[in-house]
Amino acid sequence: MAMAAAAPTVPICHGRRASPCSSKQVSVSVSVAMRAWASKSSSLSSSSSKSPRLVAAHATAVATKEAASTTSSSQGGHELLMFEALREGLSEEMERDPKVCVIGEDVGDYGGSYKVTKGFSEKFGSWRVLDTPIAENSFTGMAIGSAMTGLRPVVEGMNMGFLLLAYNQIANNCGMLHYTSGGQFTIPIVIRGPGGVGRQLGAEHSQRLESYFQSVPGLQMVACSTPYNAKGLMKAAIRCENPVILYEHVLLYNLKEKIPDEEYVCCLEEAEMVRPGTEITILTYSRMRYHVTQAAKTLVDRGYDPEIIDIRSLKPFDMYTIGESVRKTHRVLIVEECMRTGGIGASLRSAIMESFWDELDGPIGCLSSQDVPTPYSGPLEELTVVQPHQIVTAVENLCGKK
């Protein structure tokens, strides 16, 4: 029954995908810049993110300690990188509940292609950290089948784009089984993996699956953006009874932040206030949060007062927090990395318009990636994704020049 432990082999570049180590090298080279951003933005975010938190009745937040516990000025806390935060969250949940297991490619002996499950194989054994063959459709199906009996698997897609091969299982079985069985079966599964546009990874490895899965009924989707919310959302997703897709981003794995020592869980359906403001509501998630906060520096210099909200919960939207903000500012700009057509921004725009039409002073702006396959060439790739200067221009257009 025990699987033979294989010594980690040198990764070979298959025709199908880039070797994981090359993307790690790439992300390391980016991380220097990211860390600079991160430390500035995390101090921005942590000071304001925990202001009056609206905790919905079902929230599973364990820590009741308030905001201050996450700032770098608090007593204790420890600094770590995003992938380590994910690892910590996952490890704590696996220790807490023996039914949690991890299924994915290279998660066991190799330690995970982004090191999220490093050391897990030795700690939890090969029966709880399962290395699968390259068969996304079937191992996602297997995870769903085992979740039907009460196990809580965490499926790792080496890259979110590969989960397109498991689309049938995720849409039909994962999302719908609770409904079509009349409530008999729950699927407490977590599907996670890195997605988004990286550094010249090519079109097939730069996919944003949020848009494809958002209309599947029965799924919950969250996107993490900081080590703090990565750990919190990971824990919440594992504890949630519904199937949750946790979107990570390839370029954010080396973000550094100080997080609390004590246990905490984030609310899955809640948005995060990054920077309170009065003039315009900027809604964003995942990597674009950092482009927005960088643009915010320019905007503040020019006299604007943007309110930045990291929506975090992509399905369902936290319409309460968003609504409160719209009532305050009356202008909305959505900044996302999803494609323009049929993306998260498109749905969010229509949801806000429907519910808060009377509060709006003007049309909702939406900055998304271009509707093109992500090109390999560096400058071209930069053109597909929203850049900070475009955000500044958009805010100026919505709010009027100052």
Partner 1 sequence: MQGIMESIQTLCSGDHGNEGFMQDDEDEEEENGVGRLTSWAELLGFGLAVFSEAIAPQLQCFCDRTLGFAVGQGGSREAWIKAVAMAMSLVRKAVKKGWVGALAPAARVMSQALSTASEPITLDIPVPFKAHKVETPSVTVETSAQELTNFFKTMFIMRRMEIAADSLYKSKFIRGFCHLYDGQEAVCVGMEAALNDKDCIITAYRDHCTHLGRGGSVLEVFAELMGRKDGCSLGKGGSMHMYNKKGGFYGGNGIVGAQTPLGAGLAFAQKYLKVEGVTLAMYGDGAANQGQLFEAMNISALWNLPVIYVCENNHYGMGTAEWRSAKSPEYYKRGDYIPGLKVDGMDCLAVKQAVKYAKEYALQNGPMVLEMDTYRYHGHSMSDPGSTYRTRDEISGVRQERDPIERIRKLLLSNNIATVAELKTMEKEAKKEVEDALSKAKESPSPDSDELFTHVYRKGYGAKAYGADRKEVVVKLP
Structure tokens at 117: 């499950």
If one asks whether residue 58 binds partner 1 (CB under 8 A), the answer comes out as yes
If one asks whether residue 399 binds partner 1 (CB under 8 A), the answer comes out as no
| Gap between the terminal Cα atoms of the chain | 69
- Confirm whether 14 is a catalytic residue: no
Q: Which of 34, 81, 85, 148 binds partner 1 (CB under 8 A)?
A: 148
> At 168, which amino acid appears?
N
Question: What is the spatial order of strands in the sheet that 129-131 belongs to?
Answer: 129-131, 100-104, 152-156, 190-195, 244-249, 220-223, 313-315
If one asks whether residue 19 binds partner 1 (CB under 8 A), the answer comes out as no
- Confirm whether 205 is a catalytic residue: yes
> At 324, which amino acid appears?
E
Q: Which of 87, 178, 289, 331 binds partner 1 (CB under 8 A)?
A: 178
CB atoms within 10 A of CB 110: 18
CB of 144 to partner 1, least distance (A): 6
CB of 266 to partner 1, least distance (A): 14
If one asks whether residue 27 binds partner 1 (CB under 8 A), the answer comes out as no
List the catalytic residue out of 88, 105, 178, 205. Answer: 205
CA dist 215 and 381 (Å) reads 27
CA dist 140 and 124 (Å) reads 21
CB of 127 to partner 1, least distance (A): 7
Q: Which is nearer to partner 1, 177 or 255 (CB)?
A: 177
CB of 51 to partner 1, least distance (A): 17
Q: Please, which of residues 266-325 interact with partner 1 by CB under 8 A? A: 268-269, 316-320, 323-324
If one asks whether residue 376 binds partner 1 (CB under 8 A), the answer comes out as no
DSSP per residue over 25-41, as a string? HHHHHHHHHHHHHHHHH
If one asks whether residue 168 binds partner 1 (CB under 8 A), the answer comes out as yes
CA dist 35 and 68 (Å) reads 22
If one asks whether residue 93 binds partner 1 (CB under 8 A), the answer comes out as no
Let me know how many helices (H) and strands (E) the chain has, helices first. Answer: 13, 14
Q: Which stretch binds partner 1 (CB under 8 A): 11-19, 56-64, 156-164, 196-204?
A: 56-64
> At 251, which amino acid appears?
L
Listed in order, strand segments (DSSP E) in 138-235 are 152-156, 190-195, 220-223
- Write out the catalytic residue numbers: 136, 205
Contacting residues toward partner 1, per CB under 8 A:
1, 3, 56-58, 101, 127, 130, 132-133, 135, 137-151, 168-169, 172-173, 177-186, 217-218, 220, 241-242, 268-269, 316-320, 323-324, 327, 354-355
